[in-house]
Amino acid sequence: MMNQTIIIVILIVIILCIEFGQGLRCYQHDYCLGRCPTLISSTVQCKPGLDKCWKFTSPLGTMRGCGDHRCKIQLDTGIFDTASVCCSSDLCNSSIQMKITTIFIILSSLIAFIYV
């Protein structure tokens, strides 16, 4: 009787410790410029098989969502405040750190050299 109780307790503990897999969570909204929804209210659970969050920023606004379709081309020009990035952890598409690209540095140097 004691052995059965121990086995039942161990099984209950094991069942409670199992982490049930949930899909990736991302922020998702359509284009917005200045009047974007609060990110807390725009979270979604990605459908099975979609394992990337993405964010696209351009002078026209910002979009966020789930899915691999936007991750085939990643772009971060820095020139026209345009960037398209993907990530694969929960709620990772909240911000994009803009970087100055090599092309922008070269063009700026050439322009400065010509006018100096």
pLDDT in tens, 80-105: 677 788 999 999 988 744 444 555 56
Whether the CB-CB separation of 83 and 70 falls below 8 Å is answered with: no
44-89 pLDDT tens trace: 999 988 889 999 888 888 899 998 877 777 666 666 677 788 999 9
Q: How many domains does the chain have?
A: 1
Alpha carbons 61 and 55: distance in angstroms, whole number: 11
Q: Which value, in Å, is the radius of gyration of the alpha carbons in the chain?
A: 23
For residue 31, is it within any domain?
Answer: yes
Could you give phi then psi for residue 101, rounded to 5 degrees? -90, 165
Residue 81 belongs to a domain with what CATH number? 2.10.60.10
pTM of the predicted model as reported, rounded to 2 decimal places: 0.58
For residue 60, is it within any domain?
Answer: yes
Domain that holds residue 59: 23-115
Retrieve residue 108's tokens: 């700026």
For residue 90, is it within any domain?
Answer: yes
Q: What angle do CA 76, 112, 97 make, to 5 degrees?
A: 20
